[in-house]
Amino acid sequence: MNKLLARIEKDLNHLSDAERIIGQYIIENHEFIPNMTTKDLSHKTGVSEASVVRFCKSIGIGSFKLFKIELVKHNTMTQSNLTDFSILQKKDAPYDLFHKVTYANKSAIESSLSSLDRKELEKAAEAIQHASRLVFFGVGGSATAAYDAYYKFTRLGFHCNMDHDFHFMLSLIPYLKRNDILFAISTSGKTKDVLELAKFAKSKGIIVIAITNLDKSPLHKLASIRLCTPVVEQDFRVGTLSSRMTQLNIIDALYLATFNRVGDSVVEQYQEARKEVIKLRR
């Protein structure tokens, strides 16, 4: 049992009757909770939606949405346990590690259903459609997601920029227009270079779309549009595994949403480039 469920079980006797019913149901059916709404849980337990909200507050979490994020985080950490220490302590076979990585990535992507706000995603898709220039920036593992986005949106005909050099990226900002977008990508939302670039862009009136964690992220507070990734990794981890997958998943969704909106105007050029690529295959 993960730590959050253990805490709920410990506190059951201190909860109201309705909250105790909710807590017991969550303990027994925790794997289904991340895909449920307050209405769903209310129906399953036979208590009011207000009782669901009160239950979350009683255990120290402000809303059911945040509770689901915390539950997924604890489930993922418990079941994947892909930290530096765990890898060294247990010498798993490569195929066993493959299973662990697959499960951790799958759980992380599924937890994005709770962390990502639908309205914010729609705002991002709308902003992209009207932008003339897209700038992507991330450091470390997040740079992989930034490059993937740069590649995908360039294929859709957007004028895109992405570079690992922070000072070079700074030099681009004054040339951006108000409908242009800086995508600031950082798992923690605390990476200094990403924050400084976002602050500079925002001071110039540029739209800043953040792909970052919801939990204690300064970048989340700074951004114009917030695309939240779930907290799915512990501090002592072997690289940015699951967090990178959640970033790539959001970028794929934005790419398809944009293609859906502008595809008719670029499909001829898209197919022309594809034919040339096929000619070069050996």
Written as one letter, the residue type at 17 is D
Measured between alpha carbons, how far is 67 from 57 in angstroms, rounded to an integer? Answer: 9
In order along its 282 residues, the chain shows pLDDT tens digits of 577 888 899 889 999 999 999 999 999 998 889 889 999 999 999 999 999 999 999 988 888 988 887 887 776 555 555 554 455 556 778 887 787 778 778 877 877 877 888 999 999 999 999 999 999 999 988 999 999 999 999 989 999 999 999 999 999 999 999 899 999 999 989 999 999 999 999 999 999 999 998 767 899 999 999 999 887 655 444 446 778 899 999 999 999 999 999 888 888 888 888 888 888 886
pTM: 0.72
* 8 Å CB contact between 21 and 45: yes
Instruction: Please name the residues in contact with 233: beta carbons below 8 A apart, sequence gap of 6 or more.
Output: 77, 187, 240, 241, 242, 243
Q: Which residues of 251-260 are buried (b: 16+ CB within 10 A; e: fewer)?
A: bebbbebbbe
